[in-house]
Amino acid sequence: MNQGQIEIKTPEFVSLNYQIAGLGSRGAAMIIDQLLLLVANTVIYLIFLMANVAEIFYLSNSWVPIAVAIIIVFIINWGYFFVSEYFFGGKTLGKKLIGIRVIQENGHSITFLSSLIRNLLRIIDMLPTSYFLGMVFIFFHSKHKRLGDLVAGTIVVHERGAKKQGTSKIDKEILRRGLTKESLSLEDFALRSLGKKEWELLRIYSGKFLNIKLDDRVQLTRQLSTKLLPKVGLDARDKEITELENILLTLYLITKDEWEYEL
């Protein structure tokens, strides 16, 4: 195993190889995220000033307005990381730009509970200031984990690089049609509904695609489209057979990148 890489054994007894994200890439992603939050916090501050909230603070003997303001800031700053990582494939905007993401130690996508725990513990990782404790953990831990990762059972890895174009018949057919993973515009949360079972169906479909009669292929395409397309928010009923084929082959490319378990 090369330095900076990790091999993960999944519950399905499949080996996954990932390159672990170190302090440099994680720090760069954090800087981007913090700049984004700085802009958001500044906007909130200006809104408070425009609403003359400061006068309320001075005129009122209650600490409630201040407490409300602190809670709002906390929700935005903490909720950004939690919502982004859970709903967008383990990636904040900073992680997406740098090319890293959070996954579970078993290789699966981050869960609701894992995202909740690792981001609540940011409060500790930030101590005493500027994520100092978190950076110390990342620097010295063999898998570059901060405290939140240790407790939540998560790890930050680099996105898989682009695979070389295959030479199989289906790869050539996909290339002939000009299809790529970007051919289908879907939200990350929609793609999260495609798991190992859907990948197996798409893998079998692509294997049979060029080896069965045209009528059988049309029937298979419509059956699989009816089953899979609603999972990603698409309607198969109003689409021509060629369009359905292209969508399924694109989904095959997308799920292949996630489930083929190769760098």
The pLDDT of residue 192 is above 90:
no
User: Taking residues 23-44, what's their average pLDDT?
Assistant: 91
pLDDT digits (tens, 9 = 90+) for 109-134: 899 999 999 999 998 998 888 889 99
pLDDT in tens, 233-259: 898 888 999 999 999 999 998 888 666
Question: What are the Cα distances from residue 165, in Å, to 120, 172, 203?
Answer: 41, 9, 16
pLDDT at 218 over 70: yes
* Whole-number pLDDT of residue 253: 87
> Residue range 203-214: average pLDDT?
92
Please indicate, yes or no, whether the overall pTM of this predicted structure exceeds 0.85: no
More confident residue, 8 or 11: 8
- Which two three-digit tokens encode residue 203? 């893998």
Which contacts (CB < 8 Å, 24+ apart) does range 219-223 have? 221/245, 221/248
Strand runs (DSSP E) across the chain, as ranges? Answer: 5-9, 15-19, 100-104, 154-158
In sign, the C-alpha dihedral spanning 104, 110, 114, 116 is positive
Report the pLDDT averaged over residues 135-140.
90
